[in-house]
Each structure stands twice: as structure tokens, then as C-alpha cells.
Amino acid sequence: MLTPKLSTQHSALSAALVIFAKAPIPGQVKTRLCPPLTPDEAATLHGSFVLDTLERTKAAVATFKLPLDRYLACAPSSTLVFFRIMEERQGVKLLDQAGDNLGARMNHAFETLFARGYTRGLIVGTDTPSLPLERYQQALTALESHDLVLGPALDGGYYLIGLNRPIPDLFTGIPWSTKQVLALTQEKARALGLKAALLESWRDVDTISDLDELIEASVLDAKKPKRDQSFSSRTAGALQLLAKRLRSRA
């Protein structure tokens, strides 16, 4: 069962956002970046991405006054100190991820949200550290007139999914972590008669080429006025350090 670590009392807010995150444990996260990154470097970068997503979702809620409760769906366990610190410092409620694959875990999270009385739910990953804040507003608004909203990733998956009711069939028979994820999800949506909305595409970070693109984007972002920058100084610094290390290893 997906066990909440805080009170199960329903919120007065109508919608919830679940951030899916793995603990930054070397050798267990961002393994497709290793090599050339070391497991420690990959874990440090992942941890920064988790913090970015927490900070930016908090900023989106405040900026657009979104009626969103924020949850952090934790793997391998919400009892880890890293997640407890995030709970305290970032004001999120903790859930344990439960299920044999990503689809089962997402479906379980949605079922938990709707069982708690929410009328709209969003799930986002942590691989898009510079995702524009307005994407959350757009996704939430889309669910007022659509059954499903998807944020397409450039690799053929999606970085965000939103529903206004449980739809378990959307998460079965999908070859997760492949280029077919978005297309097959859209096919399922059409077969189920769902009205779907698409957000603007965005790059997530899974491969070294993705990381190279992100490093370049962070360089360009640093040239903008501070108020317009999308990257945290923490992640921008980490990316530039990794860029130097990768050049030296090459």
C-alpha cells in the first residue's frame, strides 16, 4: 500500500502535484550517464535536480496561486533521511512509490490522490530542472476541459501527466523508458475516448547528449537577467564543473 507519512486528512485544495523522485544514491540514479560520469557525480547531479523540481514547483504555486498540494513520491523509501529533510524544508507530503514498474507506480499515486478527494492530479519527474513555471498552470487549466494532459519529452516519453480521475488502462502494456511511451499512451487515450491536451515539448536528461544540451542551455541561461534565469545557481555550477571534468577526461 502507498502509505502517507503525514496526516491523511483531505486538503481544502482541489488539485495535487506528485513529484516522482529517487533518492540520490550512487549507482542507483542516472546510470545511463555513467561513464563518463562517475556514480557519485551522477548522484550529486540527480540530487540537485530533485531540489530544483521542489523549488520550482513551489515557485509555480506561489507565482500563479495554483490550488495545488505538493507530494513527493519517494523511492526506495520515504524513511530515508534525504526525503525527510525535503519534507521539512520544502513543505511537501511524502508518499512511497509502490508498483512493479513506472506505470503501476504512477497509477497507484493517482488512485491515492483521488481517494483523498482531489479532483485533478499531476505527476512530474525530476529530469527537467529548467521546466518553465507556467507549464504547471497550463497543465492544471487543461484538466478543466480535458481528461488527460501530457507534457511530451523530446525522447518520445513524457515529463508530465495529468488526470481528473483514475484511468488505470493508460498505464498498462506500455514499454517504459522507450521512444514509444508517448505515442502508445496517446493511442490508448484515443481508444478509451479520452479528450487529451498536449503541453509544449521539453528535453529531459537521460543520456550524455541530453546532458551536453543541458550544459549549453545553462550557459545561455546565465547570460539572462537574474530574474529571468531558469537554472538554480546550484545546478548551473554543478553543470559547469561537470563540463570541465568531461573536457579533461576527453
Query: C-alpha distances in angstroms, 95 versus 50, 74, 80, 173, 248?
Result: 15, 6, 12, 25, 41
Residue 13: per-residue pLDDT: 74
Q: Domain ranges for the chain, please list them.
A: 15-206
pLDDT confidence bin for 195, thresholds 50/70/90: very high
Architecture label for domain 15-206: Alpha-Beta Complex (3.90)
List Cα–Cα distances, 134 to 87, 137, 202, in angstroms: 24, 5, 13
Q: What is the pLDDT of residue 213?
A: 96
At residue 228 the predicted structure's pLDDT band, cuts being 50, 70 and 90, is very high
What pLDDT was estimated at residue 12?
55
Exposure string (b/e) for 132-157, b if CB count within 10 Å is 16 or more? ebebbbbbbbbbeebbbbbbbbebeb
pLDDT of residue 197 exceeding 50, the answer is yes
pLDDT at 59 over 50: yes
Q: 198 - beta bridge partners?
A: 150
pLDDT at position 250 is: 80
Q: Residue 108 pLDDT more than 50? A: yes
Burial of 82 (0-12, 13-18, 19+ CB in 10 A): middle
Chain mean pLDDT for the chain: 94
196, three cell numbers: 487529451
Q: Tell me how far apart the alpha carbons of residues 166 and 80 are, in angstroms, rounded to a whole number.
A: 29
Section 74-88 average pLDDT: 97
Is 70 exceeded by the pLDDT of residue 3? no
pLDDT digits (tens, 9 = 90+) for 144-172: 999 999 999 999 999 999 999 999 999 99
Distance CA 173, CA 84 (A): 34
Cα distance from N-terminal residue to C-terminal residue, the chain: 47
Q: Across residues 22-45, what is the average pLDDT? A: 97
Q: What is the pTM of this model?
A: 0.93
Confidence of residue 6 (pLDDT cuts 50, 70, 90): very low
Residue 76: cis peptide before it, omega within 30 degrees of 0: yes
